[in-house]
Each structure stands twice: as C-alpha cells, then as structure tokens.
Amino acid sequence: MDLQQLEPYRAALDGLSAAAIVAWAVAEWGPEQVALASSFGPEDQVLTALLATATPRPRVFTLDTGRLFEETYALMQRTRRSYGLPIEVHAPDAAELAALVGRHGPNLFFESVEKRRACCELRKVRPLGRALQGLRAWICGLRRDQGPTREQTQAIAWDETHGLYKIAPLHAWSEDEVWRYIHEHDVPYNELHSRGFRSIGCAPCTRAVAPGQELRAGRWWWEQPGQRECGLHRPDRPR
C-alpha cells in the first residue's frame, strides 16, 4: 500500500455526505471493484439504497453464518426484490464447520471468549476474506457511536488485514439519522427492530435490549463490552 494516498483520500472525503462518499468510491475504483458488505442491519440497508442510486450495477455481498434469524433471511429476499439486485452470499467452509462443531458442539460460543472467537473466525472472518478477493475497496456500515470499539471510525481507512480500502460513509451518523433516512425513503428493515433488537447478528448470540442500554448490548451479552467484536472490523492503520 502507498500510505501517501490515504491522507489525500481522507481530505477528498472530508465534509462529504454519505451519498457523495458512496458515489466517490464507485467513481474512484469502478462498480466492479467496490462492494458493500451487508448483514442487513439498518446502516447496511441505507447504504444499499445509496449504492443502488450511485450505480446501476451495485455489488452487495453478505456472510451467511448458518445461524441467522429467519427474519434476516426474509429481509434478504425483500432487499433483492426492492432494489432488483443480486446479493452475493458467502458461507463458511463446510468441512471446517463440521470439524469445529464436532470438537466443541454447536453452541461453543457460550463457553469462553476464545471459543466464541473461533466460531466467528470460521463463520464470518474467513468468508469475508474470500468475499474481498479482487476488490479495491469495501463499504461497511460502521458508525462511531455504535460502541467503544468503533469510536475512532473514519470515512476511509486502510484494511491492513485484507489489503484494500475500507469505506464507512455513515461514520458520523447517529442512530436517529439512520432511522430517519429509512423511514423517509421507505427502506426495508428487519422486523426484529420493532421487537427491541437494536443490533442483530446470529440468533444464538443476539437478544433484545432494554430502553437505555447501549446499541450493541444485546450482542454477546455475556462478554465484557470491549470484547464484543467478531473480528470483521479489526483496528485499521494508520492510526
């Protein structure tokens, strides 16, 4: 990577709207070289709408862990229909998954942070690596106020792990701004959000939260807040 290029990119994106950042990424690298990683959360749904506006050939991919809520699968279908776009689906390696479950059981993630991370590594992190092959940049729904592990999120960063740029067009948005956009633009969203789920991942590792709890309190709730990441968004350089 040419580290000298990152700062000019950051300067170019400074002060731009989320829609303008998405359009910039498509123009900079082309629609085939930029893809949105979607878990069908509210941020991802906003970005899908923005990307579909920026290019007639948007690339959107998702990681199907095999443990998602049925409501999430239903939203995947609604999103396909709403925007008329194909969604690339990446799943864990079947042999690796069978070996992990055979050794530790299907719900190993409750036993220790290490086993939970091993599950996330196989079901999410490795499929992400395969999904990103051949891309110049990927777009994600990170926001600074999603939790303590994401407070330093910037509009663009260098993904050291995968060797490409990572774009976070909504980095400065609040949760209220996300939902305002969804309602004003009739963006489809997961019906679990109407039942107290603020952040949604795999079904066994996600629960509804009480009013006043932080956004990701329902994710891996048995762990300490600073540990509640699956490994998809490791710290990016330079800091």
For the chain, which residues make up each domain, given as ranges? Answer: 3-195
- 109: nearest Cα among 96, 97, 121, 118: 118
* Whole-number Å distance between alpha carbons of 110 and 105: 11
pLDDT at 237: 42
pLDDT at 231: 52
pLDDT at 213: 87
pLDDT at 216: 81
Pairing of strands 60-63, 156-159: unpaired
* Whole-number Å distance between alpha carbons of 84 and 65: 24
Determine which of 18-32, 43-57, 202-216 has the lowest per-residue pLDDT on average.
202-216
Among the listed residues 120, 202, 205, 230, the single catalytic one is 230
User: If pLDDT is split at 50, 70 and 90, which confidence band does 217 have?
Assistant: confident
230 is catalytic: yes
What is the pTM assigned to this prediction? 0.89
| Cβ neighbourhood burial of 68 (10 Å; 0-12, 13-18, 19+) | buried
User: Scanning the structure block, which residue is given the tokens 């699956």?
Assistant: 230
* Whole-number Å distance between alpha carbons of 114 and 109: 8
In sequence order, the 6+-apart residues with CB closer than 8 A to the CB of 102 are none
For a pLDDT cut of 90, what percent of the chain falls above it? 80
* Token digits of residue 124: 């999410």
SS3 232: coil
Please state which of the four CATH numbers 3.30.950.10, 3.40.50.620, 1.10.10.10, 3.40.50.970 is assigned to the domain occupying 3-195: 3.40.50.620
The CA–CA distances, whole Å, from 6 to 10, 25, 31, 235 equal: 6, 13, 20, 15
SS3 78: helix
pLDDT at 227: 60
The CB-side HSE value for 104 (13 A sphere, CA atoms) comes to: 16
The answer to whether 198 and 215 are in contact (CB under 8 A) is: yes
Residue 238 predicted with pLDDT over 50: no
* Whole-number Å distance between alpha carbons of 97 and 23: 38
